[in-house]
Every structure is written in C-alpha cells, then in structure tokens.
Amino acid sequence: MHLDAQIFSRPQASHLNIWRNMINSGYEHTLVLEDDIDFEIDAVSVIKNSLDSLNSTKSTWDILYIGHCSMEEDKGKVKTGFGRVHKAVHPFCTSGYVLSRRGAQKLFAYFVKNSKQTHALDVQLVAMIKRKLINAFSVYPPVVYQRRDLYPSDDGMDLKIFKLFKNSAWNQAVAFVPHLANWTDPLDSEYLDPAFKHIPSWMEDKKTVN
C-alpha cells in the first residue's frame, strides 16, 4: 500500500502508545492494523470512500472500524452517503481501524484513567460505544481480516465473519508468485522480536480453519 508505518509490540500497551504518538505528533488520522491481517483487493478505495463520506457529514466521528469480527455491523443505521458505512453496533476485535485525532484523545484519556481494567481492549471499546462515550462507525462487510488459517492465534474466535472474505490480496499474491503457496512459517526469523527465543507451538499449526 506504499504506507510509512511504525511497528508496535504488546497488544493493549501498543494501542495506547499509538494513540499517544498520534496526539503528540499532531496527526489528524491514523490507520491501525493488527499484524496478521489480509486485505480485500478494493480495501484502499473502500477506506477512502468511507472517510470521504464520514467527513462530509455534519457529525464528528472518533473511530471507523475497517476490520472487525461482528456479523451484526450491517444492522447499524447507515449514517453517511456510502452504503457500507454503518453506525457501529458491537464491533469486537481490533483487526483494523481508522482513528481521528479527537477519538485518540478520548481513548487515551479514558484508558489512562481506567488503567486497572482487566477486560480485553476490544471489549472495553464496545462498552464505550454502548455508553456513547465515542462516536464509532463500521465498514460492512469489513475490508481487513485477521487470517486465522495462517496465524491461528485466537482459539474460540467467531470465524463467521471470515466467510465474507472474497477477494484476498494474499491469495492474489499467491496467484502471481506461486511459490508463496509453500509459505508455512507465520514469522520470518529476521523480523521476530528478540524477546521470543522460541516460536510458540501454536505458530507451528498448519491446519486451515474451515
């Protein structure tokens, strides 16, 4: 996608660091992606249309989920001129989202104040949405998916959303470069965090999730 990117480790702490970095750097918008995601082929145009549509409305927005694991997001009201953008319902998972500066300020302040919370980040975000503490929207179907077949890292995750995945950028890459189909190790050792001395056993599971 030709994006300048910064890599963070440690899930919840990394999100906090991203929000703080965004605020301190003066960014108006930030795209946040998990490291095991795949894109729909038309992801860039869908994200652009979604943001253009949101920015053309009178209401301000805090967060736009472009990837989630909820089959209910199409039940949210369409609040913009782009039919794939819905008012968020309960977009569990943080596969991918776009955050406004206002949203980053809200989230950072809330999570610093509630630092003793033990619930998962995505659960707390949904609770904030339900309480109308943040103005959230979702793209449905999402354009970013976490590949549980390549990175089986979240046992018990609701995988129904993956059935909506039709035009995988990874699969297209394999079509152009066939030897990629033999790729089995989820992490190249040269990019492995030095903190991981051994690859966890679950990463060696090559079974495909149906």
pLDDT tens readout for residues 132-152: 999 999 999 999 998 766 655
DSSP codes, 55-89:
HTSSS--SEEEEE---S-GGGS-B-SSSTTEEE-S
pLDDT tens readout for residues 183-203: 655 545 544 445 444 444 433
pLDDT tens readout for residues 156-167: 444 678 788 889
Instruction: Return d(Cα 83, Cα 98) in angstroms, integer.
Output: 18
Query: Do 167 and 40 form a contact (C-beta atoms < 8 A)?
Result: yes
- Position 153 confidence tier, pLDDT thresholds 50, 70, 90: low
CA angle 61, 7, 121 (to 5 degrees): 50
pLDDT of residue 191: 45
Q: Is the dihedral of CA 152, 154, 159, 162 positive or negative?
A: negative
The residue assigned the tokens 């990117």 is: 5
Instruction: Return d(Cα 156, Cα 154) in angstroms, integer.
Output: 6
Does residue 210 carry a pLDDT above 70?
Answer: no
Domain ranges of the chain: 1-210
Q: Is the dihedral of CA 92, 80, 33, 26 positive or negative?
A: negative
Collapsing DSSP to helix, strand or coil, 171 comes out as helix
pLDDT tens readout for residues 12-55: 678 999 999 999 999 999 999 988 889 999 999 999 999 999 99
pLDDT of residue 175: 85
